Amino acid sequence: MTTMTVEVSDEQIVKALLAGEDVSNRAVAQKFGISDRRVDLVRKRVGLPPYMRGRRPIYSSWAEAFTEQSEPVEGGHRRWTGTREKRGTPVVRFRASIQTAYRVAFRLHHGREPEGNLTRSCQIPGCVAGEHQQDRVIREAQKAGEAE
């Protein structure tokens, strides 16, 4: 009897981890027939937060939910450590609502709802710092200032 070994790439593991709202290392390991340790190493290497079993923390505000799920990094940037949706977008859950971390960061920093799509003013992929989020109003104001 021969056993067949299948090579599983880190990219396949990451896709599986991001395929659901809250996917455990064990579920991914079983799917591919690999060790939990391998999945954990890939999770850490790409900066995904560790899997949390059981009940999730209950936050008292959007600000607390955002702050508890992100961390400041050098240069005024902020790295997301919380939950991500299927495509990898960082999301904040508060009570029965869910919003992207980018929109929450913008609202907390600028004190208003963003208008239109948000873009980052920095070149750091995934940065969720509120001061680095720009909505249509900010982009148009910058464009008008450059035209003068």
Together in a domain, 66 and 35? no
- Indicate whether 56 belongs to any domain: no
Contact 67, 109 (CB under 8 A): no
- Indicate whether 37 belongs to any domain: yes
Number of domains in the chain: 2
3 state DSSP class of 79: strand
Range of the structural domain that residue 22 is part of: 10-45
Together in a domain, 84 and 36? no
Tell me what the pLDDT averaged over the chain comes to.
87
**Residue closest to 133 by CA, chosen among 145, 144, 122, 142:** 122
Per-residue pLDDT tens over the stretch 38-66: 999 998 888 777 777 766 678 899 999 99
- Indicate whether 54 belongs to any domain: no
Per-residue pLDDT tens over the stretch 25-37: 888 999 999 999 9
